[in-house]
Chain A
Amino acid sequence: MSDEDVALRVRALESLLLEKGLVEAPAIDEIIDLFENRLGPQNGARVVARAWSDPDFKARLLENATDAIVEMGYEAVQGEDMVVVENTPKVQNLVVCTLCSCFPWATLGLPPVWYKSAPYRSRAASDPRGVLAEFGTEIAADAEVRVWDSNAELRYMVLPERPADTNGMSEDELMALVTRDSMIGVTKALAP
């Protein structure tokens, strides 16, 4: 299906929902604003950049991620109970929801399509090193891979390693290096 076909179908659905009085137009604007501007990986990237810059915040984030994230103002549905796990040269963490598509909306927004796909959900659990290799992520031979299956009520986010040669960078500059995928744990943060 082309993008035009999808757009047409979405418009038809929107018209029907409005005409039948199931949804009010301002609600649709609000949903778009919510997921385009307010809930998304830019929130998680700011959390990560702050953790890289502020050791006290990082300690709080790893100890009680829910409170530390709320402290930054990111309080929303699918972020009620958060756990943040830290990548190091010896540990690569990877998040999956094998049962469905659970994802920390407050900090990462809606999950990418591949995250919800059956191949990712099964292989991230059974062959995480194979999945990491397909994402182009190299793991040291002596490193440990930890998979986090967010099957229950907690939502997980990875604190990626701070890239080399980033000393002296501001939080805003660091944020640009933090991708959604690096906070799922399938890639590293970008090099500056």
Chain B
Amino acid sequence: MSRVITREVVQGLYKRTGTARVDADVAASFKVGDGIRARNVHPTGHTRLPRYIRGKQGRIATDHGVFQFADSLAHGGGKQPQHLYSVCFTAQELWGSQAPARDSLYIDLWDDYLEAV
């Protein structure tokens, strides 16, 4: 296989080809409005669950649908399609009581990162 970067390879970049969305019928573990806690786990390899979120409580703001799971894909474990949610955490939950009461942070989290509270 040729590994030379040609004009055609670059032109491929301009196309929207890389969606991580998966057309699969996978049940969602949570629904919009549900309270959740991010699992306090410590993977040794690639993960999209930042440490500042682990163990924190939030609520499901949006269900984005089914996406391939980046953690598993990075370790050769296949797509493991599952629901990806926008989860809202209050600034005070993440940073303590001195954080502004109105502020919040939204982050996209896969089903495997979450547990019910």
Contact = CB atoms under 8 A, between A and B. Distances in A.
A103 interface: no
Given A80-B16, A145-B102, 10 more contacts: A22-B3, A26-B6, A27-B7, A75-B14, A83-B86, A145-B104, A146-B103, A148-B107, A152-B109, A153-B108
21 contacts: A27-B10, A29-B7, A30-B7, A30-B10, A30-B11, A34-B10, A34-B14, A75-B16, A76-B16, A79-B16, A98-B50, A98-B52, A99-B50, A128-B103, A147-B103, A150-B108, A152-B67, A152-B70, A152-B107, A153-B19, A153-B67
Interface of B: 3-7, 9-11, 13-21, 48-50, 52, 64, 67-68, 70, 84, 86, 91, 94-95, 100, 102-110
A162 B96 CA distance: 34
Given A26-B7, A75-B16, A125 B106 contact: no
Contact of A146 (B6, B11, B105, B108): B105
A38 interface: yes
Contacts of A75: 14-16
Given A27-B6, A27-B7, A151-B108, A129 B103 contact: yes
Contacts of B13: 34, 76-77
Interface of A: 21-24, 26-27, 29-31, 34, 38-39, 70, 75-81, 83, 98-99, 106, 125-126, 128-129, 142-154
B7 A153 contact: no
A149 B48 CA distance: 11
Nearest to B103: A145
B103 A149 contact: no
Contacts of A145: 91, 100, 102-104
Given A79-B16, A144-B103, A152 B52 contact: no
A143 B91 CA distance: 14
Contacts of A126: 52, 94-95
A147 B10 contact: no
A22 B4 contact: yes
A24 B4 contact: yes
Contacts of A80: 16-21
Q: Which has the most chain A C-beta neighbours within 10 Å: B4, B52, B86, B103? A: B103
Nearest to B51: A98
Given A24-B5, A99-B48, A106 B16 contact: yes
